[in-house]
Amino acid sequence: MTEYFELEWQKFQKTSEEAKLAFFQKEGRIFDILFARQFERKQLDFLSNLATKIRLVAKRKEGADYLRRLLTHKKAMLYFVQPSTRTYLSFLNACHILGIKTSDIRDTFTSSEIKGESSYDTIRTFSSYVDVIISRHPEKDFNQKAAWLLNSTDRPIPVVNAGSGKDEHPTQALLDIYTLHRSFEHRGGIDGKVITMVGDLKRGRTIRSLSFLMKEYKNMKLYFIAPKHLMIEEDLRSFLKKSRIEFYETDNFASVIAQSDAIYMTRIQDEHDNDKEKTQSSYDDFSFTYEHLSILKKDAVIMHPLPRRNEIDVRVDSDERAVYWRQERNGMWIRAALLAYIFHVEKSILDV
- List the catalytic residues: 86-87, 115, 136, 169
Nearer to ligand CP, 163 or 165 (CB): 163
What are the φ/ψ torsions at residue 243 (nearest 5 degrees)? -85, 5
b (16+ CB within 10 A) / e for 82-95: bebebbbebbbbbb
Q: How far is the CB of 163 from ligand CP (least distance, A)?
A: 6
- Residue 256's CB: how many other CB atoms inside 10 A? 18
Angle (CA) 213-233-254 rounded to 5° is 80
Among 215, 305, 334, 340, binds ligand CP (CB under 6 A): 305
Question: Under a CB-based contact definition with an 8 Å cutoff, are residues 82 and 326 in contact?
Answer: no
Among 195, 268, 306, 349, binds ligand CP (CB under 6 A): 306
Nearer to ligand CP, 84 or 280 (CB): 84
Nearer to ligand CP, 32 or 176 (CB): 176
87 binds ligand CP (CB under 6 A): yes
Question: Under a CB-based contact definition with an 8 Å cutoff, are residues 178 and 172 in contact?
Answer: no
336 binds ligand CP (CB under 6 A): no
**Interaction residues for ligand CP, span 220-249 (CB under 6 A):** none
Query: Residue number with the shortest CB distance to ligand CP?
Result: 87
What are the φ/ψ torsions at residue 75 (nearest 5 degrees)? -130, 140
Stretch of 35-43, 235-243, 283-291, 303-311 lying at the interface with ligand CP (CB under 6 A): 303-311
107 binds ligand CP (CB under 6 A): no
308 binds ligand CP (CB under 6 A): no
Q: How far is the CB of 85 from ligand CP (least distance, A)?
A: 4
Report CA dihedral (235, 241, 246, 252) to the nearest 10 degrees.
Answer: 40
- Measured N-to-C along each axis, helices 41-57 and 324-342 cross at an angle, to the nearest 10 degrees, of 100
Among 85, 110, 219, 255, binds ligand CP (CB under 6 A): 85
Stretch of 228-236, 241-249, 301-309, 337-345 lying at the interface with ligand CP (CB under 6 A): 301-309
Stretch of 85-93, 142-150, 193-201, 261-269 lying at the interface with ligand CP (CB under 6 A): 85-93
Q: How far is the CB of 160 from ligand CP (least distance, A)?
A: 13
Instruction: Spell out the alpha helix ranges (H) of 58-150.
Output: 61-68, 86-97, 119-129, 142-150
Stretch of 59-67, 114-122, 183-191, 302-310 lying at the interface with ligand CP (CB under 6 A): 302-310
CB within 8 Å of 329: residues ≥ 6 apart: none
Q: How far is the CB of 334 from ligand CP (least distance, A)?
A: 13
Q: How far is the CB of 344 from ligand CP (least distance, A)?
A: 27
- Residue 123's CB: how many other CB atoms inside 10 A? 24
Q: Order of strands, edge to edge, in the sheet holding 262-265?
A: 246-250, 221-225, 194-198, 262-265, 301-303
CA distance 305 to 291: 22
Instruction: Spell out the alpha helix ranges (H) of 130-169.
Output: 142-150
What are the φ/ψ torsions at residue 278 (nearest 5 degrees)? -60, -45
259 binds ligand CP (CB under 6 A): no
> What is 77-91 written as a DSSP string?
EEEE-S--SHHHHHH
Stretch of 141-149, 248-256, 264-272, 305-313 lying at the interface with ligand CP (CB under 6 A): 305-313
Question: Under a CB-based contact definition with an 8 Å cutoff, are residues 299 and 262 in contact?
Answer: no
204 binds ligand CP (CB under 6 A): no
Nearer to ligand CP, 256 or 323 (CB): 323
x/- string (CB under 6 A) for ligand CP, residues 139-168?
Answer: ------------------------x-----
Q: Which residues of the chain form contacts with ligand CP (CB under 6 A)?
A: 84-88, 163, 169, 172, 305-307
